[in-house]
């Protein structure tokens, strides 16, 4: 992959201080459009204590019917494989437990706040990317031998990764429409964002999640989900893998098949056959996620084309691996 374009885009970015100020002003405008996700944040506050009162949390959820319904759909999904349907919120809260509950509220409650206000033309694009990233991150976590690879955390990180896009889309709609259809989300869209606004959607998402006082591990993963750094936390690598998988699933002939294979091999020890299996499992998980979130995605994933490209590019990478690996070390950290 030619990273010279990515390197140039860094030179055109505003200084870090100017960028932070610009993003802060953008988010102040967002606050005027939306009230904070009150119920979601209340549940997050109540569940800080590991010995939280289940009844209190359930009553809190009752004040947000959409959030409550999402929690019930999640509990009754194939992710948990219960033999009987859960119909009461206290039962759902009890079954999920503290960590999965907090992540579910984080995902459903906070994402909903921004999706509801985004321009209609961005809904499909956002859900396609976010549900794919969430599903892929979960499946990557399930394949990881790292004890720190929690599937629920990875799913939430995937769902939250592109919130910055929704912020920009709501507040700078006319200008963002010009670049938002860019099929290369990982490098070209980020380059265009930085040229047009002086910052990118990862930085916006990072500041937004900081304002909402969300867990540091999630914020760091969202801020770096286009970045490959060998020593970064496991969640960062899972989210980068999920981002590259999303590029590949919806556009198998894109430039990210080889980077995906390299990251999966280095971090998860997966070869080409396992990548193809991962793609299949991710597609199945996307369908499950659509049901949970009540979203219908346009288009279909062509798994045959994914497999063909994976095998062809795996063989090609083996021939020029020395040059290719040298470029991968700076993949997207140079964007």
How would you class 147 by CB atoms within 10 Å of its CB: exposed for 0-12, middle for 13-18, buried for 19 or more? exposed
pLDDT of residue 319: 55
Looking at residue 45, what is its pLDDT? 84
Taken in order 177, 183, 187, 188, the sign of the CA dihedral is: negative
Residue 72 located in a structural domain: yes
275 lies in some domain: yes
54, 90 in Cβ contact below 8 A?
A: yes
Q: CA end-to-end span of the chain, whole Å?
A: 12
Tens of pLDDT, residue by residue over 61-79, are 988 888 888 899 889 988 7
Q: What is the pLDDT of residues 157-210, one digit of tens each?
A: 999 999 999 899 888 988 998 898 888 998 899 999 999 999 999 999 999 989
Confidence of residue 91 (pLDDT cuts 50, 70, 90): very high
Tokens (6 digits) for 100:
């999965």
Q: Are residues 137 and 228 in the same domain?
A: yes
For 298, phi then psi, to 5°, come to -80, 150
Is residue 229 assigned to a domain?
yes
**Total domains in the fold of the chain:** 2
Q: Do 274 and 307 contact (CB within 8 A), yes or no?
A: no
**pLDDT tens track for 14-71:** 478 889 999 999 999 887 766 567 788 888 888 888 889 999 999 999 888 888 888 9
Look at residue 216 and tell me whether its pLDDT is greater than 70.
Answer: yes
Whole-angstrom Cα distance, residue 111 to residue 116?
Answer: 9
Model pLDDT, residue 34:
62
**Where a domain ends, among 85, 116, 147?**
116
Q: Let me know whether 162 and 99 are in one domain.
A: no
What pLDDT was estimated at residue 333? 46
Range of the domain at 48: 36-116
| Final residue belonging to a domain, choices 75, 100, 116 | 116
Are residues 261 and 128 part of one domain?
yes
CB distance 96 to 79 below 8 Å: no
Tens-digit pLDDT profile for residues 99-157? 888 888 877 877 776 777 677 778 888 899 999 999 999 999 999 888 778 888 899 89
In this model, does residue 290 exceed pLDDT 80?
yes
Closest CA to 65 of 9, 12, 98, 112: 112
> What CATH number corresponds to the domain at position 307?
1.10.3210
**pLDDT score of 227:** 84
pLDDT at position 74:
87
30 and 44, same domain (yes or no): no
CA distance 102 to 326: 40
Residue 132 located in a structural domain:
yes
Q: Is residue 145 part of a domain?
A: yes
The SS3 call for residue 238 is: helix
Number of H helices, E strands in the chain: 20, 0
Quick one: pLDDT at residue 206? 95
**pLDDT range class, residue 328, cuts 50, 70, 90:** very low
Q: How far is CA 161 from CA 42, 128, 132, 157, in A?
A: 22, 13, 11, 6
- pLDDT at residue 322 above 50? no
CB 114 within 8 A of CB 170: yes
Indicate the residue among 116, 135, 161 that finishes a domain: 116
Q: Given this model, what pLDDT does residue 320 score?
A: 55
User: pLDDT for 264-274, tens place per residue?
Assistant: 988 888 999 99
Q: Flag whether 334 is in a domain.
A: no
pLDDT higher than threshold 60 for residue 4: no
- In terms of domains, do 180 and 245 share one? yes
With 80 as the cut, is the pLDDT of residue 335 above it? no
Can you give the pLDDT at residue 36?
61
């Amino acid at each position: 992959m030619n990273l010279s374009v990515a390197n140039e885009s860094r030179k055109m970015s505003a200084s870090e201080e100017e960028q932070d100020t610009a993003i802060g002003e953008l988010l102040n405008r967002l606050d005027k459009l939306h009230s904070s996700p009150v119920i979601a944040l209340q549940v997050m506050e109540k569940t800080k204590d590991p010995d939280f009162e289940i009844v209190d949390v359930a009553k809190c959820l009752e004040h947000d019917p959409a959030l409550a319904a999402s929690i019930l759909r999640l509990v009754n999904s194939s992710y948990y494989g219960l033999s009987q349907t859960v119909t009461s919120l206290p039962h759902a809260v009890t079954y999920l437990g503290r960590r999965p509950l907090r992540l579910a509220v984080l995902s459903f409650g906070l994402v909903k706040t921004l999706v509801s206000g985004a321009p209609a033309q961005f809904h499909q694009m956002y859900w396609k990317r976010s549900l794919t990233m969430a599903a892929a991150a979960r499946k990557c976590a399930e394949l990881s031998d790292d004890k720190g690879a929690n599937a629920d955390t990875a799913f939430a990180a995937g769902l939250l990764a592109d919130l910055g896009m929704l912020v920009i889309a709501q507040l700078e709609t006319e200008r963002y429409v010009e670049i938002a259809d860019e099929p290369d989300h990982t490098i070209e869209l980020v380059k265009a964002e930085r040229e047009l606004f002086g910052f990118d959607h990862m930085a916006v998402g990072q500041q937004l999640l900081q304002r909402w006082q969300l867990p540091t591990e999630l914020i760091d993963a969202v801020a770096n989900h286009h970045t490959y750094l060998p020593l970064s936390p496991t969640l960062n690598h899972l989210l980068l893998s999920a981002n590259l998988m999303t590029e590949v699933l919806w556009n198998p002939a894109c430039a990210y098949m080889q980077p995906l294979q390299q990251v999966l091999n280095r971090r998860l020890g997966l070869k080409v056959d396992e990548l193809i299996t991962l793609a299949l499992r991710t597609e199945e998980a996307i369908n499950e996620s659509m049901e949970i979130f009540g979203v219908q995605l346009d288009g279909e994933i062509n798994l045959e084309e994914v497999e063909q490209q994976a095998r062809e590019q795996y063989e090609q990478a083996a021939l020029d691996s020395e040059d290719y690996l040298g470029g991968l070390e700076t993949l997207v950290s140079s964007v």
